[in-house]
Chains A and B, each alone.
Chain A
Amino acid sequence: MAGRFKPITMAAASFFLVAALAPLFVPSWATLFALILAKSVVVLGIILLLQAGQVSFGHAMFFATGAYAAAFWGKYVGGGDIVLFLVLGAVSASILGLIVGLFVVRYREIFFGMLNLAFSMVLWSLLEKMFHYTNGADGIRVSRPGLLGVTFSPGAFQYVILYVSLLIAVAAFFGVQRYLDSPLGHMLRAIKSNETRLEYLGTSARRVLLISYVISAFLGGVSGTLVAIIQQIATPEFGFWTKSGEFVFIAILGGGAHAFGAFAGAAVYEIVRFYAAAQLANAWQLILGLVVIVIILYAPSGLIGLRQRGNRAKEGAR
């Protein structure tokens, strides 16, 4: 098994290297790569749940929680620090994840997906309607925080947040991989293949799913905080269902079978958006739509599946 995953780990390492170095030569890529890396973290959470065969259509709620944790601090307390924001975002999203998780892990498949969606729409409505606290649809500006007490110029800051995102993304990538390889990770996959047997081994499938759910909420919170800092704003749109859909879309695009799928998917998604939006205005969704049709028809295991497919074809020809 380790042998099969090695090329993917190599691909991940090269990707992280490019993300670290390329923006040094093309400054406009700093924010692009920071966004790709930050978004990949919430998609990792989606991929985690996909291991159990469950698709959450509401993960934007954790993403928004992370974003608003930073925004509220700025609005009500003032100032702020990247590390503080990340801790706040992660903790509040994890707590919400635990509360929502206690309900949703009782359900499977479409019911799991829809209940997540319902919870996320409740949060979205609150963010949208509680105008007095949240500025409604306008959102809350997140002013540029410092890092461990040091403040930066806008030019330098885009690199600071890029490398913070890179560090977190790398840690999340290896953390999730390690988790998937652990007994809990294997039990998570066992929920997909045979939940009955798991119960008959004496393990509570709900508990296994809940632990992963809280981890995925944690990742969603961290990701939302990072994106709010990068884009310097938190709006209810962070928690809208289309955002949740976008995360699932990226996971399917990249491939849900492996943690690197999150990065492959997010990279393609954001790069297409970055360039196609400039060239084709509103047609970029059309292009992504076509890309995903091709993926589903010809590479159902996503971009990272293409390589394995290629390998199998080679073996078959022998």
Chain B
Amino acid sequence: MTDNVLLSAKGIKIRFGGVIAADGIDLDVHEGENLAIIGPNGAGKTTFLNISTGYLRPQEGSVSFLGRDITAQLPRTITRLGIARAFQIPQLFLDQTVMENMLIAAASLGGRPSGIMALSSLPDAPEMTRLLDLVGVREFAARKARELPEGQRKLVDIALALALKPKLLLMDEPTSGVASSEKLGIMDILTRALAREKVTSVFVEHDMDMVERYAHRVAVWSMGKIQKVGTPAQVLADPKVREHVIGI
């Protein structure tokens, strides 16, 4: 981990009707770290991902990435700058094969996709195979995304994000919807892949085991504020955090 700040949110405010999701959020993401965001349901954690990827625009405040203001940019512009996203519910092209999904991502990254040469003949195919192998779903490459079980879909969703060669990956509950017996396996694969590809990550998580095991730093998001930031050990030992967020 270095001290280089990749993503920096300053004074973010956003409210939906009467609900204040963010009320002056300041949060920095450092290069090379895995930052977990925890907090009660509805606290605004996913909103932070939506703002950072341009899906929502904050009412106040700004987000910068590598020193560049990205607050009002479109998701695809932000994606091209190097922020990829994986979703709580995997977002795949269900009628296409896993490999086709990956190659669409590769063609997207390349810009100016061809209308003449076949998708399957893109030179990126071996690299996409390597990424599928890295997240352990290579055997599903020729299957339609629709046919995959949820856990595998999540991994493909992450592989799609990695295909974009991002500097930063934002993940919304990477292990939700996955049987608890598979959670550790998926997070192991995931953190290894991130380290290998040198991708910084932010992940929203509800499972404190996952946070303790895989996060370098934890931010506690509650009532529209960042209540505490620190190492998992510091944060999870805080009695207030234990009471309000973890519920013990």
The chain A residues found within 8 Å of chain B, CB to CB, are 1, 178-179, 181-187, 189-190, 192-194, 196-204, 208, 211
Contact = CB atoms under 8 A, between A and B. Distances in A.
Interface string B16-56: 00000000000000000000000000000000000001000
B93 A179 contact: no
A175 to B, nearest CB: 9
A184 B107 CA distance: 9
Interface string B106-118: 0111000111111
Shortest 4 CB-CB distances between A and B: which pairs?
A: A183-B107, A183-B113, A202-B79, A201-B108
Given A202-B76, A202-B79, A203-B76, A184 B94 contact: no
A202 B113 contact: no
B107 A187 contact: yes
B164 A201 contact: yes
25 contacts: A1-B97, A179-B115, A182-B114, A182-B115, A182-B117, A183-B103, A183-B114, A183-B115, A184-B115, A186-B100, A186-B104, A189-B93, A189-B95, A189-B96, A190-B104, A193-B94, A199-B76, A200-B75, A201-B79, A202-B79, A202-B109, A203-B76, A203-B113, A204-B76, A211-B115
Contact of B95 (A185, A193, A196, A198): A193
A193 B74 CA distance: 21
Contact of B108 (A1, A189, A196, A203): A203
A197 B119 CA distance: 18
Contacts of A200: 53, 75-76, 79, 84-85, 91
B105 interface: yes
Interface residues of B, number: 33
Contacts of B95: 189, 192-193
Given A192-B95, A201-B164, 8 more contacts: A178-B116, A182-B115, A183-B115, A183-B119, A186-B107, A189-B93, A190-B104, A199-B74
B80 interface: yes
Contacts of A183: 103-104, 107, 113-115, 117, 119, 122
A182 B118 contact: yes
Interface of B: 53, 74-76, 79-80, 84-85, 91-97, 100, 103-105, 107-109, 113-120, 122, 160, 164
A203 B100 CA distance: 15
A1 B97 CA distance: 10
Contacts of A193: 92-96
Nearest to A190: B93
Contacts of A202: 76, 79-80, 108-109, 164
Contacts of A208: 113
A193 B117 CA distance: 22
A186 B119 contact: yes
B93 A182 contact: no
Contacts of A192: 95
A184 B119 CA distance: 8
Given A194-B91, A201-B105, A186 B115 contact: no
Given A186-B96, A201-B108, A202-B80, A179 B116 contact: yes
Q: Looking at A1, A187, A202, A204, which has the most chain B CB atoms within 10 Å of its CB?
A: A202
Contacts of A184: 113-115
A87 to B, nearest CB: 21
B37 to A, nearest CB: 19
A197 B92 contact: yes
Given A187-B113, A201-B105, A201-B108, A181 B118 contact: yes
B80 A186 contact: no
Q: Looking at A183, A204, A211, which has the most chain B CB atoms within 10 Å of its CB?
A: A183
Contacts of A204: 76
A182 B116 contact: yes
A71 B105 CA distance: 45
A194 B76 contact: no
Nearest to B115: A184
A190 B116 CA distance: 17
Contacts of B97: 1
A196 B54 CA distance: 12
A182 B76 contact: no
A98 to B, nearest CB: 15
Q: Looking at A182, A189, A196, A200, which has the most chain B CB atoms within 10 Å of its CB?
A: A200
Nearest to B104: A186
Contacts of B53: 200
B212 to A, nearest CB: 29
Contacts of B74: 199
Contacts of B119: 181-183, 185-186
Contacts of B120: 181
